[in-house]
Amino acid sequence: MPATTTKVALVTGAAKRIGAEIVRQLHKEHFNVVIHYHQSDKAAKELANELNEERENSAYCIAADLNNMEQINNLAMQAQQHWQRLDLLVNNASSFYPTPIGETSEEDWDQLINSNLKAPFFLAQALAKKLGEYHGCIINIADIYADKPLKKHSIYSIAKAGNAMLTKTLAQELAPMIRVNGIAPGAILWPDDSHKKPEDRLSDDNKEKMLAKIPLQQRGQAQDIARTILFLTQSPYITGQILTVDGGRTITI
């Protein structure tokens, strides 16, 4: 099958929340989209069906565990072969949970490092040749806590700090054929803690305290991240940068 003339984007962790909004916005901008997911099979397929109803053969799902190198490589292979093209990789998938010192296991380390740092690196490596053919770009989702650590989240903060450096090193190494940038979100969506015990959930009082520290006095929306991704895809002279999207939170830390 010849390569499509339509731009193609792979978004990891794309079945729900911010990832799904990124996919929808890219699709509106006439990208074909590869929707990566791990366990959210139903949500991923519903999203793909929704987009394929709008534009036939424009969305495709691939399941992969980003803790598994074989599955990472298979994801990369399928993503670039489906339409014989790739213009954009968005490394959005991320694990996030507390790892207090004294209560943390090697499994926690592997889970957080793999999803936030290892998988983005190896996906970039596996897809660099195809992305380079189309002068494509990579966008990594970092975090404001890459620079200022979040208490009781040491491994997550370490992983996101590595993700920020990954953006800079890839931008240098893959230039001039591929641009690489990052986005550091602040409070965008509250954590999905419905599966947690009530005492472990983020309380309304704590949410209000967090919002009070944000100059814009509100949390962001998934659309804010998706729009920033669109901006970066349309900015051919920006590479190696990490844009902070946090309502001004970092100027108050």
- Host domain of residue 149: 8-251
Q: Is residue 136 part of a domain?
A: yes
pLDDT at 112 over 90: yes
For residue 1, being part of any structural domain is answered with no
- Provide the pLDDT for residue 104: 97
- Residue 147 included in any domain: yes
pLDDT at 195: 52
In a domain, 75, yes or no: yes
Q: How many domains does the chain have?
A: 1
Question: Is 21 among the domain residues?
Answer: yes
Question: CATH number for the domain including 143?
Answer: 3.40.50.720
Task: Enumerate residues 6+ apart whose C-beta is below 8 A from 108.
Answer: 97, 99, 155
Is residue 2, in this structure, part of any structural domain at all? no
In a domain, 207, yes or no: yes
| Catalytic member of 37, 60, 145, 156 | 156
For the stretch 37-72, pLDDT in tens is: 999 999 999 999 999 999 999 999 999 999 999 999
Instruction: Kindly report, residue by residue over 214-228, the tens digit of the pLDDT.
Output: 898 888 999 999 999
Q: What is the mean pLDDT of residues 5-22?
A: 97
Within a domain: residue 3? no
Q: What is the pLDDT of residue 203?
A: 65
134 has catalytic annotation: no
